[in-house]
């Protein structure tokens, strides 16, 4: 006889406990503990099948090595984020806000791979087969090698996989799939954990590249236990504002490539299209001759990206001035304001400071420091920067400008877009030759950078 057992799980982090807590002991979230009834069977658990192996341990020097084969998805931006293509047998988790375009991206990817001769199985637990075809007709993604299935029962999905034998598989979404043996509801911590373990066993055992769509919480994290992100090989986040046309695909975990690459797409009536020149897109609406606006050359993986840095300094009537930053590190912005106050003599204690990266891009590298400093100084002094200048460099606490990596790629991107001058750390100018038609201004301190940019 099976024994009925009641447990409580945290919907945010997956913490398991025998009694209810108002505040989760694992992640300190309030009112996230839910009760689930589990049927404890004396046989081995579902996840234990993952660790059954008949291979013997061997020295690592005797293991055959070789370059992992890659399958091209047909979408260049997705290939870039994945590290050159999708690896057979890998498990990819794609998360993002509702309506951001996760299903659209994966349906277009399925069509491109089916068009290349691969057999693709698209399983939807949220849409009927008719609805999926209507969406595919709108996207122009109809192909005989693209199989669709509306199913959420894991046993039925396993039978469909055996009959189709796909090379690539999409599960939309993992929160809708359930295993009948697990008595908790679909989308619960137990179901998500066990279903992901089952898909991982199928992907690794049969060499089927699998993409899982994951829902996100109101904080933006993927719903379900944190174990879900640890089990998969790659975690991709689809970002962007629903009211804007562009989308950013970013990898936060990738066992087969870098996590610094981003893919940029534009949403239109025919689906998602790749943005081949993102710098031109982000600078298309830039206002010229306005104080507080500069252009910074940032690196996203191996891709140079030019975006507009905006700053607004305004007098405050409150004892404590506001410091707000969008797209930049808030603590880094406060550090740069302190450097400007101490080293440059700017009295910013009675001023509100607002810094924004236009276009919704998030810059997390120190090379944006100098552009933030110049933007704040430009707005504070009400002196516009030159519209043909590009600025990048790291700022230290003593007011020095430190060297940054890959200065040559940043300068070449600026020259390609028609900029005439680049203000950069002087130590970053060594070891390479600048392209024709662009002037390089090397600086060692913030004072030198402000003198060059605002005079």
Which residues, at least 6 apart from 198, have a Cβ–Cβ distance to it below 8 Å?
Answer: 46, 154, 158, 179
On the question of pLDDT at 410 being above 80, the answer is yes
Report the DSSP pairing between strands 246-254 and 262-268. Answer: antiparallel
Q: What percent of the chain has pLDDT over 90?
A: 63
At 323 the three-state DSSP class reads strand
Annotated binding-site ranges for ATP: 96-103
Distance CA 93, CA 110 (A): 15
Task: Transcribe 336-365 into DSSP letters.
Answer: HHHHHHHHS----TTEEEEEEETTS----S
Question: End-to-end distance of the chain based on CA atoms, in angstroms?
Answer: 84
Annotated binding-site ranges: 96-103
For residue 125, what are its two tokens? 């637990």
Distance CA 402, CA 404 (A): 7
How do residues 45-80 score in pLDDT, each as one tens digit? 444 454 455 678 889 888 887 666 899 999 999 999
Distance CA 181, CA 169 (A): 23
CB-based contact 186:177 (threshold 8 Å)? yes
How do residues 139-177 score in pLDDT, each as one tens digit? 999 999 999 999 999 999 999 999 999 999 999 989 999
pTM across the whole model: 0.78
CA nearest neighbour of 90 among 28, 26, 168, 19: 168
**What is the H or E stretch that residue 94 is in?**
strand 91-96
Distance CA 46, CA 244 (A): 43
Please, how many CA atoms are within 13 Å of residue 319, restricted to the half-sphere of its CB? Answer: 0
Measured in whole angstroms, the distance separating CA 371 from the mean position of its chain's CA atoms is: 24
On the question of pLDDT at 223 being above 80, the answer is no
On the question of pLDDT at 312 being above 50, the answer is yes
More confident residue, 425 or 258: 425
User: Looking at residues 119-148, what average pLDDT do you find?
Assistant: 95
Distance CA 265, CA 105 (A): 10
On the question of pLDDT at 276 being above 90, the answer is no
Distance CA 321, CA 238 (A): 34
3-state helix, strand, coil in the chain (%, to 5): 30, 30, 40
Task: Transcribe 183-200 into DSSP letters.
Answer: -SPTTSHHHHHHHHHHHH
DSSP classification of residue 143: -
Please provide residue 69's backbone torsions phi and psi, each rounded to the nearest 5 degrees: -65, 145
On the question of pLDDT at 4 being above 70, the answer is no
């Amino acid at each position: 006889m099976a024994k009925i057992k009641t447990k409580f799980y945290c919907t945010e982090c997956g913490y398991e406990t025998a009694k209810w807590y108002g505040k989760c002991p694992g992640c300190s979230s309030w009112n996230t503990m839910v009760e689930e009834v589990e049927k404890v069977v004396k046989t081995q658990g579902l996840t234990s099948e993952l660790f059954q192996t008949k291979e013997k341990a061997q020295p690592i020097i005797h293991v055959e090595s070789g370059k992992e084969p890659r399958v091209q998805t047909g979408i260049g931006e997705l290939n870039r984020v994945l590290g050159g293509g999708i690896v057979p047998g890998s498990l990819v988790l794609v998360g993002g806000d509702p309506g951001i375009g996760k299903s659209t991206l994966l349906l277009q990817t399925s069509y491109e791979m089916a068009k290349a001769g691969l057999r693709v199985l698209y399983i939807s637990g949220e849409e009927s087969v008719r609805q999926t075809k209507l969406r595919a007709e709108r996207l122009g993604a109809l192909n005989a090698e693209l199989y669709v299935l509306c199913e959420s029962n894991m046993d039925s999905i396993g039978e469909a996989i055996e009959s189709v034998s796909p090379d690539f598989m999409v599960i939309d979404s993992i929160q809708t799939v359930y295993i009948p043996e697990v008595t908790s509801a679909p989308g619960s911590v137990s179901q998500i954990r066990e279903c992901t373990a089952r898909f991982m066993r199928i992907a690794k055992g049969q060499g089927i590249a699998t993409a899982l769509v994951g829902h996100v919480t109101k904080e933006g994290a993927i719903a379900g236990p944190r174990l879900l992100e640890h089990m998969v090989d790659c975690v991709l986040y689809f970002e962007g504002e629903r009211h804007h046309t562009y989308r950013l695909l970013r990898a936060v975990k990738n066992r087969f490539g870098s996590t610094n690459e981003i893919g940029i797409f534009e949403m239109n009536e025919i689906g998602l299209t790749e943005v081949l020149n993102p710098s031109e897109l982000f600078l298309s609406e830039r206002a010229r001759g306005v104080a507080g606006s500069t252009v910074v050359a940032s690196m996203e993986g191996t891709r140079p990206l030019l975006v507009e840095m905006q700053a607004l300094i305004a007098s405050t009537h409150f004892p404590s001035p506001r410091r707000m930053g969008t797209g930049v590190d808030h603590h880094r912005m406060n550090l740069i304001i302190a450097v400007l106050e101490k080293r440059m003599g700017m009295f910013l204690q009675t001023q509100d400071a607002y810094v924004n990266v236009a276009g919704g891009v998030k810059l997390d590298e120190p090379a944006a420091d100098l552009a933030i400093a110049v933007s704040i100084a430009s707005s504070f002094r009400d002196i516009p920067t030159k519209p043909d200048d590009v600025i990048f460099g790291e700022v230290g606490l003593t007011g020095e400008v430190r060297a940054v990596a890959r200065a040559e790629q940043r300068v070449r991107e600026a020259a390609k877009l028609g900029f005439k001058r680049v203000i950069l750390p002087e130590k970053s100018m060594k070891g390479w030759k600048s392209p024709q038609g662009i002037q390089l201004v090397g600086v060692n301190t913030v004072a030198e950078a402000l003198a060059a940019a605002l005079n």
